[in-house]
Structure 1
Amino acid sequence: MIRWWISALQLTELFVSTLVHLLYGFYIFSSAVAGDLSQALNELVFKPNTNAVVKEEEAGGTSAPAATTTNADDLPPIVLVHGIFGFGKGRLGGLSYFAGAEKKDERVLVPDLGSLTSIYDRARELFYYLKGGQVDYGEEHSKAYGHSQFGRVYEQGHYPEWDEDHPIHFVGHSAGAQVVRVLQQMLADKAFKGYENTSEDWVLSITSLSGAFNGTTRTYLDGMHPEDGRTMKPISLLQFCRLGVLIYDWLDIPWLKDYYNFGFDHFNMSWKKMGVWGLIDCLLGNAGPFASGDWILPDLTIQGSMRLNSHLQTFPNTYYFSYATKRTRTIMGYTVPSSIFGIHPMLFIRVLQMSQWRHPPDVPAPYKGYRDEDWQDNDGALNTISMTHPRLPIEHPCKMVVNDSDCRHLQPGIWYYKIVEGDHILFIVNRERAGVQFDLIYDSIFERCRKHVFRRVPTVPNEIQQ
Structure 2
Amino acid sequence: MIRFWIASLQLAELFVSSLVHMLYGFYIFSSAVAGDLSQALNETFFKPNTNFEVKHESPTETTTTTVNADNLPPIVLVHGIFGFGKGRLGGLSYFAGAEKKDERVLVPDLGSLTSIYDRARELFYYLKGGQVDYGEEHSKACGHSQFGRVYEQGHYPEWDEDHPIQFVGHSAGAQVVRVLQQMLADKEFKGFENTNENWVLSITSLSGAFNGTTRTYLDGMQPEDGRRMKPICLLQLCRLGVIIYDWFDIPWLKAYYNFGFDHFNMSWKKAGIWGLLDCLLGNAGPFASGDWILPDLTIQGSLRLNSHLHTFPNTYYFSYATKRTKKIFGVTVPSGILGIHPLLFIRVLQVSQWRHPPDVSPPYKGYRDEDWQDNDGALNTISMTHPRLPIEHPNRFVANDSDCQPLEPGIWYYKIVEGDHILFIVNRERAGVQFDLVYDSIFERCRKHVFRKTRPTLPNQTHQ
- TM-score, with length taken from structure 1: 0.91
Structure 1 residue 171 corresponds to structure 2 residue 165: no
After superposition, the C-alpha distances for 1:333-379 in whole angstroms (9 at most, x for unaligned) are 00000012232321111000000000000000000000000000000
Equivalent AA in structure 1 for residue 44 of structure 2? T
2:44 aligned residue (24, 46, 50):
50
Distance 2:122 2:15 in 1: 28
Matches for 1:43-442 after TM superposition, within 5 Å: 43-44=39-40, 49-51=43-45, 70-442=67-439
SS in 2 for 1:191: coil
* Identity across matched positions, percent: 84
Conserved? CA contact 1:337–1:351, under 8 Å = yes
Of the structure 1 ranges 240-249 and 406-415, higher mean CA displacement relative to structure 2 is found in 406-415
1:198 and 1:318, CA in 2 relative to 1: closer, same or farther beyond 3 A? same
SS in 2 for 1:28: coil
Distance 1:50 1:186 in 2: 38
Alpha-carbon offset, residue 70 of structure 1: 3.9
Equivalent AA in structure 2 for residue 440 of structure 1? L
Structure 1 residue 38 corresponds to structure 2 residue 34: yes
Equivalent AA in structure 2 for residue 196 of structure 1? E
Conserved? CA contact 2:339–2:419, under 8 Å = no
Distance 2:326 2:100 in 1: 34
1:412 and 1:27, CA in 2 relative to 1: closer, same or farther beyond 3 A? same
Alpha-carbon offset, residue 39 of structure 1: 2.6
Conserved? CA contact 1:232–1:238, under 8 Å = yes
Distance 1:65 1:228 in 2: 49
Conserved? CA contact 1:142–1:148, under 8 Å = yes
Distance 1:273 1:5 in 2: 27
Alpha-carbon offset, residue 17 of structure 1: 2.1
Distance 2:7 2:274 in 1: 25
1:6 and 1:301, CA in 2 relative to 1: closer, same or farther beyond 3 A? same
Alpha-carbon offset, residue 6 of structure 1: 10
Equivalent AA in structure 1 for residue 85 of structure 2? G
1:397 and 1:404, CA in 2 relative to 1: closer, same or farther beyond 3 A? same
RMSD: 2.2
Alpha-carbon offset, residue 207 of structure 1: 0.4
Distance 2:5 2:126 in 1: 43
SS in 1 for 2:27: helix
SS in 1 for 2:228: coil
Q: For residue 20 of structure 1, what is the aligned residue in structure 2?
A: 20
Distance 1:43 1:189 in 2: 41
After superposition, the C-alpha distances for 1:235-294 in whole angstroms (9 at most, x for unaligned) are 000000000000100010001100100000000000000111111110010100000000
Alpha-carbon offset, residue 226 of structure 1: 0.2
Equivalent AA in structure 2 for residue 50 of structure 1? T
- TM-score, with length taken from structure 2: 0.92
SS in 2 for 1:395: coil
Alpha-carbon offset, residue 403 of structure 1: 0.7
Q: For residue 57 of structure 2, what is the aligned residue in structure 1?
A: none
Conserved? CA contact 1:131–1:161, under 8 Å = yes
Q: Which runs of 5+ in 2 are unaligned?
A: 55-64, 456-460
Conserved? CA contact 1:389–1:396, under 8 Å = yes
Conserved? CA contact 1:408–1:452, under 8 Å = no
1:446 aligned residue (431, 443, 446):
443
Conserved? CA contact 1:168–1:202, under 8 Å = yes
Alpha-carbon offset, residue 8 of structure 1: 5.1
1:43 and 1:202, CA in 2 relative to 1: closer, same or farther beyond 3 A? closer
1:94 and 1:9, CA in 2 relative to 1: closer, same or farther beyond 3 A? closer
Alpha-carbon offset, residue 43 of structure 1: 4.6
SS in 1 for 2:166: strand
Equivalent AA in structure 2 for residue 413 of structure 1? G
Alpha-carbon offset, residue 82 of structure 1: 0.3
After superposition, the C-alpha distances for 1:83-142 in whole angstroms (9 at most, x for unaligned) are 000000111111110011111111110000000000000000000000000000000000
1:71 and 1:454, CA in 2 relative to 1: closer, same or farther beyond 3 A? closer
Which portions of structure 1, spanning 4 or more consecutive aligned residues, are displaced by more than 6 angstroms? 4-7
Alpha-carbon offset, residue 456 of structure 1: 1.6
Q: Which runs of 5+ in 1 are unaligned?
A: 459-463
Conserved? CA contact 1:41–1:95, under 8 Å = yes
After superposition, the C-alpha distances for 1:56-95 in whole angstroms (9 at most, x for unaligned) are xx99xxxx96589742220011000000000001111111
Distance 1:79 1:7 in 2: 39
1:65 and 1:267, CA in 2 relative to 1: closer, same or farther beyond 3 A? closer
Distance 2:210 2:11 in 1: 40
1:44 and 1:138, CA in 2 relative to 1: closer, same or farther beyond 3 A? closer
1:50 and 1:224, CA in 2 relative to 1: closer, same or farther beyond 3 A? same
Equivalent AA in structure 1 for residue 398 of structure 2? V
Of the structure 1 ranges 346-355 and 36-45, higher mean CA displacement relative to structure 2 is found in 36-45
